Amino acid sequence: MVTYTVHERENASGNITERADAIDFVKEGFAWLALFFPLLWLLYHAMWIVLAGFIGVMVVLQTALTAAGLADGVAAWASIALSLVFAFQANDLRRWSLARRGYRLEGPVTASSRTACEAQFFENWLAAQNARGEENPDQPKRGTNPASAVKPGQADKEPTSGDDVIGLFPDAKA
């Protein structure tokens, strides 16, 4: 199972097709490409601030180790360690960069593959758009999480009480 977080632009256009094309999926966990090719990975995702920070930390690290008179092997191991730490944090830094660019978190999606995650998200997302009555594509309504959207046909059913509640306080009247 893999988990992705889904991000959509705050000021996405009203056209549902354009909005769907602009949605970004970011995988939870380790980024293998960021381990082996950190600079290219950062360039590909246009993470300029993080790129500048990564290069700055790498230069400071190499300069400090050289000034301390440590062998080149220590500097190489330090670079590998920095790349490893970066690969663990790369997708979190990508989420931060997306938030800085005006993306908002729509929610997490978990499935067996990225394709299954996308299919699951868009099924719920399209149902949420239809439930909101997206007749006017220029004025989309916001505020619900499509990952937990109500399926069509469920909105008009009465909520059940008692048996379906999980928790310490199942009855609101008590």
Specify the pLDDT at position 75: 85
Specify the pLDDT at position 132: 74
Q: Which residues pair with 26 in a beta bridge?
A: 5
Query: Apex CA 127: angle with CA 126 and CA 132, to 5°?
Result: 95
Instruction: Estimate to the nearest angstrom the gap between the alpha carbon of 28 and the chain centroid.
Output: 7
Alpha helices in the chain (DSSP H): 16-22, 32-36, 38-44, 48-67, 72-100, 114-132
Q: Which residues pair with 105 in a beta bridge?
A: 7
State the pTM of this model: 0.70
Give a yes or no: residue 62 inside a domain.
yes
CA separation for the pair 122, 21 (Å, rounded): 11
Give a yes or no: residue 49 inside a domain.
yes
Give a yes or no: residue 160 inside a domain.
no
Specify the pLDDT at position 134: 53
- Look up the domain containing 109 and give its range: 2-148
3 state SS of 172: coil
Give the model confidence (pLDDT) of 136-166 as tens digits. Answer: 444 444 545 555 544 444 444 444 444 554 5
Specify the pLDDT at position 136: 41
Specify the pLDDT at position 46: 94
Give the model confidence (pLDDT) of 44-82 as tens digits. Answer: 999 999 999 999 999 999 899 888 888 778 888 999 999
- Phi/psi of residue 2, each to 5°? -125, 150
Question: N- to C-terminal Cα distance for the chain?
Answer: 40
Residue pair 6/24 in contact (Cβ under 8 Å)? The answer is yes
Give a yes or no: residue 95 inside a domain.
yes
Q: Please provide the average confidence, as pLDDT, over all residues in the chain.
A: 81
Give the model confidence (pLDDT) of 87-121 as tens digits. Answer: 999 999 999 999 999 999 999 999 999 999 999 99
Give the model confidence (pLDDT) of 3-48 as tens digits. Answer: 999 999 988 777 788 888 889 999 999 999 999 999 999 999 999 9
Q: How many domains does the structure of the chain reveal?
A: 1
CA separation for the pair 120, 21 (Å, rounded): 15
Give a yes or no: residue 170 inside a domain.
no
